[in-house]
Amino acid sequence: MQVLDTPLLDVKLIQPRRFGDSRGWFAEVFNTSVFASAGLPAAFVQDNQSFSTQGVLRGLHYQLGKPQGKLVRVLSGHIWDVAVDLRRDSPQFGQWTGFHLKPRTEDGELEMLWIPEGFAHGFLVLSETAEVLYKTTNPYYPAGERTILWNDTTLNIGWPLEILNGASPSVSGKDEAGQPLNSAELP
């Protein structure tokens, strides 16, 4: 398993190794000892799966009180996945990075994204549909749920909206009511 650095400190791309033959392939996508030896969490408490259609934008979500680290994997489709550093003591506070995530890269590698606690997370569905599975380090905590506005001009996230041919992304009412970074309640 390869653990690759990204432009944001502590956000990692993870590429599990695939073993294949004429029948198909096999991959170990999670192993507590391998993750621990790479400095990643070895324990997750909840698995979440979403199904969305093209143009759905989910996020930018985070939790106060019980922050969630997320291990994100696309099972089908193609998403633009975004992490925003909300750690006030981080030299990269308020910076974001985005990734095209699919079930496999153009080179056939499996790929997952590790987003640690202290980050906001969101994604835009670029394909006709997408299924996303993510493991979390803490359970869902409704009282601590918060949302940064996906189109906050201070963040200036480069969402690939051109795929929508001029249409606006489909955003939930809760996400549409998100707060700009400079007025959000942060960890």
78 counts as catalytic? no
Indicate the DSSP class of residue 107: T
- Residues 170, 52: Cα–Cα separation, whole Å: 10
Buried b (16+ CB within 10 A) or exposed e, 140-170: eeeebebbbbbbbeebebebebebbeeeebb
- The full set of domains in the chain, from first to last, is 2-183 (2.60.120.10)
The reported pLDDT for the residue numbered 105 is 87
The reported pLDDT for the residue numbered 108 is 86
The reported pLDDT for the residue numbered 144 is 97
Catalytic residue among 62, 78, 121, 134: 134
Answer whether 160's CB lies under 8 Å from 112's CB: no
What residue ranges of the chain have pLDDT lower than 50?
none
The reported pLDDT for the residue numbered 111 is 95
Residue 178, both tokens: 């998100």
DSSP readout, 111-129?
-EEEE-TTEEEEEEE-SSE
**φ, ψ at 26 (rounded to 5°):** -135, 145
Catalytic residue among 61, 62, 78, 121: 61
The burial class, CB within 10 Å (0-12 / 13-18 / 19+), for 173 is exposed
- The per-residue pLDDT for range 30-64, each reduced to its tens digit, is 999 999 999 999 999 999 999 999 999 999 999 99
Nearest CA to 181 out of 79, 81, 65, 88 is that of 88
134 counts as catalytic? yes
pTM of the predicted model over 0.85: yes
